[in-house]
Chains A and B, each alone.
Chain A
Amino acid sequence: MSHYRAMLRVRRFYSLNGNPIHEDRRLGRRYYQYLTIVVGERENNAVVSLGQHILIEGTDDDSPFVAQLLKLFWDVNSNQMKAVVHWFVRMHEIAQNKRKLLGRDPHPQEVFYYQDGSCDCEVNVETILGAVQVKHIPAADPFPDNESEDTLFVKLIWDTKTFRKMPPPVPKSPSPSVPVTRARALPTPDPTVMKRAMAGLHPHSCMSTGKIGTAEAESAHSASKLSAAKILNVKRRSRVSSNPNIRKKLELCSPAKHLTRDDVLDEILDEDKDTQEDLVTKLGSFPIHSVSVSSSRLTPLSTPEKPYTKEGKFSLRPMNKPSETTVDNHDSGRDFIGVHPLEDDLFRLEPGLISKNRTPRRREATPRRVSLRQNACCSCSPLRREEQHEISPGHSVHTDSSKRRSARIKKNQLNNHNDLQSDGEDADDDGSFVPADLDRGSSSDEEEESLMDSEDELIVKRSRRGTGRRTPHSTVKSRASARTPRRMPSKKAAPPTPQTPRHATPSIPNRSQPARKPGNMLEEARARLHVSSVPESLPCREQEFQDIYNFVESKVMDGTGGCMYISGVPGTGKTATVHEVIRSLQQAVEQEELPPFHFIEINGMKMTDPHQAYVQILQKLTNQKATADHAAALLEKRFSTPAPKKETTVLLVDELDLLWTRKQNVMYNLFDWPARKHARLVVLTIANTMDLPERIMINRVASRLGLTRMSFQPYTFKQLQQIITSRLNRVKAFEEDALQLVSRKVAALSGDARRCLDICRRATEICEQHGQQGSTGLVGMSHVMEALDEMFSSSYITAIRCASLQEQLFLRAVIAEFRRLGLEEATFQQVLVQHQALCRVEGLQPVSVSESLAVCQRLGACRLLLLEPSRLDLLLRVRLNVSQDDVLYALKAE
């Protein structure tokens, strides 16, 4: 264990040795045969050659992943060293409910040949830790006792459903008859292993057969191989080429890497379609494929490299030792080359450590799928859905402590590697421990899924230890809750939208000195009363909170979707309540009571065009940029195609009415997606009017919105009072009566909590101003009255009183003319006559037309008069914007 810790800490340098054995110009790859690993300051370089078994850095230092190196290449496009591997799984990587399928206790050093087309076989070279020895043991034979702890044994194939014996190299039938070996030796960076290897402990360990890798890459590089191997190789190659999946995979995962994200996504989405039909073929074909691969491994090819020379002497040695439990009719000629594990305790099964296969991903800068070894039911698309899927159902039974530990480890590692992740998706990938949901069952293999479910449930029921919370009534739930903790830490470690330089948004520069803290009590009260200060809780919305909470919670738990419409006049706490709900739900997720979900918020007012909604949703969901149309298409695909590890998305659409378009496409889609089978989308919509669905939505949209509605009533004065009191939170700044006055006044007018808070804030200011003359220091009635007056009183009357004499005369003339005409409208010329008459009455100089017109226009600018906007001059029509009574009142009071 300590070795590996050390190795992880030590910086390692990798280089590909020698000339490229093959170059694929189309993919921009150069294939190599050997990899040199220089560990830290140590002198000795380890060389790994094709076909050898290697250890790949996992989430857990103690048991790195085991794999066989198939190919080594330099990817020109991404400037990275990559390796194609075939994975082995350890017992503890297998879903716990499947472990019993083995029917015996696993040997601590036992690994299983992993047969699953869906996992990513491409890893970054930097994740390779070193070589290990893997020995094939015929299924019937017992495990050798005297082997070193570094050696791993292979007996069976694990194809995510069953353990099988190694199939024969010649695929006559699906039933495996001949064991296939997978073992290689390789140079290790660890001197002890080197020593052991040189000591001849595992004589055949070093026969790395680069063949496989090269052959799989369609290289014709096999001339120097053993003739027997050649034959096998040819056979295998033909088989490989006949296997569409292999080809597909190659094309898929490599070129995609240097494409834009959109392209990748497109491909993925396309791929998704094929998933179902492919799956069958894949599953069928994989045994064959793996057989061929493994058989080809028998051709030892590597001798030339120096570090290998000694090991190269080791010859293939059949290991037909009698196996203890399983019956194996393997060909005795087949053998497994023993591989030295680098660690003593490699075999220790740690129930919590399933995450091995996720590691390589972290080392890579491009989003990719990795090592989905464990489940058969997912497709080969490289999106994170698959990766999420990799946790197949049944993992739920890890003990809490181990879960947490691995989560912690993971988090640390994530932190370390964050800089390597240039892609936002990675962050999600890493943490994507999402329950395999029910959709998947239908997507891939209904029968199998149900089987798994039932098993799962069984296990859940049987082995409920320590976690009494998990009730067996819902498998999904228990599974989900078990997996959540992994998700959460990693989420925290890597924010959902890491900013790539391209997306960098500038921020407002920081101030040179920090803002002053509130000094006295009134300032403190003012800070607390500001609308922006987030209250500890939302009083007076408990019922609404509970309803929304229950709605979202149930949807998240069930992995279904739904819509909710929330209405209420402005300032009644709609958005705040929803945010509060989301906060509490996220807390619940952290406490593992709820599967994780993704919260997205859009606001109709914060976009320039309703169609921008798509862009923003996509951006927040996947950090992709796209045009509105493209984004709509992508989202459509995303929400309508099944994807295994999708987590529920909670979408808050604020100011829904702004998303109205003539065809109502946007609203239609928003409400249609949640109803899709695979969407797992919960849409919460907020708008002001209760009857919005009936008023502006056409039937098909309104019908999709459904009837889950909620309306927020305006606050009553008691509620408003409570809100202020709870915000003030024992800061004594207001007199009781003053508070009541404010809340009653606001409740009578609008019930808008914002208004209420603003008035209180203003009242504190007034109090502060007056306070200098000496008073109680509390905000009293008079202050509140003044604030109310300032905010609510109409300024028209004051404005009229403050107007100049001619303006007042003009207003009077207007009223006089209205009375004369009996209409509420007059032309300027008519008013002018009255105006001049009034001037005469008042003993003033008669006004000229220009002067009078100027007066009229001034009144019009203040909107005391309503004027036509044209330059109609004398024919301008004049109306009053205030009631005649008000004008007369204002003029008389003077």
Chain B
Amino acid sequence: MDFVSQPLPVSVNYMMSKHKSGANCSAAGECVSEVQRILRERFCHQRLPDKPMGLESQYKHLLELLRRTAVHGESNSVLIVGPRGAGKTMLLSCALRELLDLQEVKKNVLLVQLSGLLQTDDRIALREITRQLHLENVVGDRVFGSFAENLVFLLEALKKGDKSSSRPVFFILEEFDLFAHHKNQTLLYNLLDVSQSAQTPVTVVGLTCRLDVLELLEKRVKSRFSHRQIHLLSSLSFCQYRDAFRSKLSLPDDFPDSKFSQDWNVSILKLCEDKSVDEILRKHFNSSTDFRSLHLLLLLAVSRVSVSNPTLRAADILEASRMSNADTKANILHGLSILELCLIIAMKHLNDTYEGEPFNFQMVHNEFKKFIQRKSHSIHNFEQPVVLKAFEHLLQLELIRPVDAGVCKVQREYQLMCLMLDQTQFRPQWRARSGQLMQEKSDEMWQGDENTKGMTLQNSATLSTLACLSLA
């Protein structure tokens, strides 16, 4: 890339227009793929940012703490608490990265990384610790024994160390709260106990999103925990958020094609000033201030960049936002057959009539038949089994759900169900459907039912056969 793209603009000047456009085309293609690679790395957390943004004081605190363990052999324990996507792992990784760059530290620390999602009990966790500490090599061919032996073994090993001569060990426990659910909290007790006694220096770093994590700890475990908590609660303003948006999309200075990157960065600047983009950003900011959701949005937007569309436009952002904000259930409604839609409408009607009381198939079917009778010309009169089939399909889609799943003795037809759709989820649906399928005159179908206004089932002969076919 370096060699190809740099000389090209120079040579292009001397070339014919045809060649020029062709060369430009390939260069642009490469630039676009390079842009996408760089930005994807950013958004998918494959590359750590140079500095954790907005978390400077926490970063300093954590780094200092880890450094003291590494350098002075002082045991410690700390919890990093913050909502999901707040950058807990990122913060820790940054701190470790910086710490391990120090010559003094690099060869002197051991790292054990555990996750509450992977090490679901102490037995597995112990094994993992032993593996990561490379202790099993020392044991040689010894068959690794029982859980109890493992524990004794590990504690013995940790006990043998002392403050000044043993290598410090960092225990990093992700999803710390899940470790608190292990039996007796044996692992936590022992790790924290080591951190409070003159044994091998350890630092226990827990990462969790639960604010009440300390209440999960048993009193003895809690007493041994140092009560240091680093809270990652972002207090970003929207302006900062927008700046972050810009800097996250901006290309670095060392991008190979400087012209492209300039163009790109200018377009990003423009994008930030765009009204609609601003609105979208604000909406996102309002719903969550963390960067992870922004990353998801931007990832969708960036994937729309192509050779023909080499810069990021407001439309891309809009489309990405629409995609990421789409309501999942409304999307499901898109794929329903007419009959199923009719059933949904019947259920909705029942819901409105009986104020959310559960219903069963028979009730829905009666409602449906009432509708058919009134408007027999507009919709095919389906047999009951066909309707039941449609009903069951809705059940499978979990658009309806049995009220008490436990009781299965009741016949299917009479099992009580409730509708899992909210008012708001119907509206866009009916609008779309009506435009897509029918024209008008469904008002009279269910008087007073706002939601079915746009629904016309007039020319549904073909549709209903389709429905029958799809259900059969």
Contacts and interface: CB of A to CB of B under 8 A. Distances in A.
Contacts of A516: 71-73
Contacts of A589: none
Contact of A510 (B148, B167, B327): B167
Contact of A606 (B151, B224, B420): B151
Nearest to B213: A863
Interface stretch (A159-167, A543-551, A788-796): A788-796
A608 B81 CA distance: 29
B154 to A, nearest CB: 9
15 contacts: A504-B139, A515-B71, A515-B164, A533-B198, A606-B155, A606-B193, A655-B220, A688-B220, A792-B227, A804-B285, A845-B283, A850-B327, A854-B287, A858-B84, A875-B418
A531 B83 CA distance: 31
Contacts of B110: 508-509
Interface string B108-132: 1010000000000010000000000
A791 B424 contact: no
Contacts of B414: none
Nearest to B210: A863
Contact of B424 (A605, A754, A844, A846): A846
Interface stretch (A380-388, A522-530, A590-598): A522-530
Contacts of A517: 72
Contact of A848 (B104, B153, B327): B327
Contact of A758 (B201, B227, B329): B227
Nearest to A758: B226
Interface string A857-893: 0100111100000000111000001000000000000
Contacts of A804: 285-289
A874 B424 CA distance: 12
A612 B148 contact: yes
A658 B184 contact: yes
B197 A532 contact: yes
B229 A795 contact: yes
A789 B201 CA distance: 27
B10 interface: no
Contacts of A518: 72
Contacts of A759: 227
B212 A863 contact: yes
A103 interface: no
Interface stretch (B230-238, B307-315, B337-345, B453-461): B230-238
A532 B198 contact: yes
Contacts of B107: 511-512
B72 A849 contact: no
The 4 closest A-B pairs by CB, nearest first: A506-B138, A570-B223, A515-B73, A802-B233
A699 to B, nearest CB: 26
B288 A515 contact: no
Interface string B318-336: 0000000111111000000
B65 to A, nearest CB: 8
Interface string B131-174: 00101001100000001100111011110110111111100000
Interface in B250-292: 283, 285-289
Interface residues of B, number: 85
Contact of A508 (B74, B166, B231, B420): B166
Given A506-B157, A508-B167, A790-B229, A609 B223 contact: no
B328 A850 contact: yes
B135 A511 contact: no
A505 B167 contact: no
B292 to A, nearest CB: 11
B229 A569 contact: no
A791 to B, nearest CB: 4
A111 to B, nearest CB: 49
B286 A609 contact: no
A765 interface: yes
A508 B160 contact: yes
A798 B233 contact: yes
A515 B162 CA distance: 10
Contacts of A564: none
A802 B211 CA distance: 13
B196 interface: yes
Interface in A781-829: 790-792, 795-796, 798-799, 801-807, 829
Contacts of A721: none
Given A511-B108, A515-B72, A688-B220, A848 B166 contact: no
B196 A844 contact: no
A95 interface: no
Q: Among the interface residues B81, B220, B327, B328, which one has the most CB atoms of the partner chain A within 10 A?
A: B220
Contacts of B74: 526-527, 530
A806 B286 CA distance: 5
Contacts of A509: 110, 166-167
A507 B210 contact: no
Nearest to B194: A532
Interface residues of A, number: 83
B166 to A, nearest CB: 5
Contacts of B422: 829, 832, 849, 874
B157 A508 contact: yes
Contacts of B286: 804-806, 844
A847 interface: yes
B186 interface: yes
B186 A608 contact: yes
B228 interface: yes
A387 to B, nearest CB: 29
A858 B288 contact: yes
Given A569-B219, A850-B327, A874-B420, A531 B166 contact: no
A862 B209 contact: yes
A809 to B, nearest CB: 8
A251 interface: no
A571 interface: yes
A881 B193 CA distance: 30
Interface string A599-619: 000000111110010011000
A807 B73 contact: no
Contact of B161 (A507, A569, A752, A836): A507
B190 interface: yes
B157 A507 contact: yes
A505 B153 contact: yes
Contact of B169 (A508, A514, A790, A881): A508
A755 interface: yes
A129 to B, nearest CB: 40
A608 B287 contact: no
Contacts of B41: none
Interface string B388-412: 0000000000100100000000000
B333 to A, nearest CB: 12
A855 B85 CA distance: 13
A765 B64 contact: yes
B75 interface: yes
A458 interface: no
B189 interface: yes
B196 A608 contact: no
A615 to B, nearest CB: 7
A513 interface: yes
Contacts of B157: 505-508
A850 B325 CA distance: 8
A330 to B, nearest CB: 62
A534 interface: yes
A755 B223 contact: yes
Interface string A747-781: 00010101100110110010001000000000000
Contact of B186 (A605, A849, A863): A605
Interface in A428-478: none
B124 to A, nearest CB: 13
Interface in B181-201: 184, 186, 189-190, 193, 196-201
B306 interface: no
B219 A861 contact: no
Given A570-B219, A605-B184, 15 more contacts: A508-B158, A508-B167, A510-B167, A514-B164, A515-B72, A534-B198, A605-B186, A608-B186, A755-B227, A758-B226, A761-B226, A795-B233, A845-B283, A849-B329, A861-B210
